[in-house]
C-alpha cells in the first residue's frame, strides 16, 4: 500500500516485517539499551525511536549478527590479519621457483563476500556478463 502513494516500503511496515523475522535479536539489542520491545508504541519507545536504533546498530549487535552472520565475524582487525597473512604467504611464494616463474600463486584467505580466483567463472561467462552490462544481448 505504501508504494501506491509513491513511498518506498519501510517505516512501520518495514519494522514490523523485521520484528516478525528477527524479533528476538531486536529484543536483545533493546535490553542492552535498557529498553524492552513491550515498550514499543509508548512514550518510552516510539516507532521512530525503534527505527533509529535499528538503523544505527553496530556490527556487533545481535540483529546484524543474525542477519549477516559471515560478515559480522569479519571486523577490521580480522581483515587486517588476513591481509598480513596473505602478504606473508605471497612473500614466501615469491622466493620459490614457482614464484620466480609466476605460477602456482598462493590463494588468499577467503573473506566474506569475495570469491577466490578458483571460484570465479570462466572467461566466456565474464564476456557474457560484460555484453549484458553493455546491453549487447544476442
pLDDT value, residue 7: 43
Q: What is the pLDDT of residues 38-61, one digit of tens each?
A: 999 999 999 999 999 999 998 889
For the chain, residues with pLDDT lower than 50 are: 1-8, 121
On whether the pTM is more than 0.85, the answer is no
Helix axes 47-55, 11-32, angle to 10 degrees: 70
Burial readout 13-40 (b: 16 or more C-beta within 10 A, e: otherwise)? eebeebbeebeebbbbbbeeeebebeeb
C-alpha–C-alpha distance, residues 55 and 32, integer Å:
16
CA angle 57, 36, 39 (to 5 degrees): 115
Classify residue 96 by its DSSP letter: S
C-alpha–C-alpha distance, residues 2 and 90, integer Å:
53
Residues 6+ positions from 53 with CB-CB distance below 8 Å: 29, 30, 33, 35
Phi, psi of 45 (to 5 degrees): -150, 95
Amino acid at each position: 500500500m505504501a508504494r501506491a502513494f509513491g513511498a518506498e516500503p519501510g517505516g512501520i511496515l518495514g519494522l514490523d516485517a523485521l520484528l516478525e523475522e528477527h524479533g528476538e535479536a531486536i529484543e536483545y539489542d533493546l535490553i542492552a539499551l535498557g529498553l524492552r520491545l513491550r515498550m514499543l508504541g509508548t512514550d518510552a519507545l516510539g516507532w521512530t525511536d525503534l527505527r533509529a536504533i535499528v538503523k544505527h546498530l553496530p556490527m556487533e549487535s545481535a540483529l546484524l549478527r543474525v542477519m549477516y552472520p559471515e560478515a559480522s565475524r569479519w571486523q577490521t582487525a580480522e581483515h587486517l590479519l588476513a591481509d598480513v597473512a596473505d602478504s606473508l604467504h605471497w612473500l614466501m611464494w615469491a622466493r620459490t621457483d614457482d614464484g620466480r616463474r609466476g605460477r602456482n600463486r598462493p590463494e588468499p584467505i577467503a573473506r566474506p563476500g569475495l570469491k577466490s580466483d578458483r571460484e570465479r567463472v570462466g572467461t566466456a561467462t565474464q564476456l557474457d556478463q560484460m555484453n549484458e552490462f553493455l546491453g549487447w544481448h544476442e
